[in-house]
């Protein structure tokens, strides 16, 4: 998955909020972590405000 596609999908998850969307966001971040590394995940967390919305913190490992 490209980072641009992940950004698009995560924006949708953020707009809806909620527990199920948190799990969806976690899956997307895990995919990005696998192929692009933790730095890319951290950048998306900060850029999209995922710490506020879902409680993800930069540097946090996303395991699925």
> What integer pLDDT is reported at residue 61 of this predicted model?
85
> Mind listing the pLDDT tens digit of every residue in the chain (64 residues)?
999 999 999 999 999 988 889 999 999 999 999 999 999 999 999 999 999 999 999 998 877 6
Rounded to 5°, the CA angle 3-11-45 comes to: 65
> What integer pLDDT is reported at residue 64 of this predicted model?
60
Max Cα-Cα span within the chain: 26
Q: What is the pTM of this model?
A: 0.91
Residues 6+ apart with CB under 8 A from 36: 3
Helix axes 38-48, 19-36, angle to 10 degrees: 140
């Amino acid at each position: 998955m490209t980072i641009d596609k992940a950004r698009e999908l995560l924006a949708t998850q953020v707009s809806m909020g909620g527990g199920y969307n948190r799990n969806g966001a976690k899956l997307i971040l895990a995919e990005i972590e696998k192929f692009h590394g933790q730095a890319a995940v951290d950048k998306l967390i900060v850029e999209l405000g995922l710490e506020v919305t879902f409680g993800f913190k930069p540097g946090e490992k996303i395991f699925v």
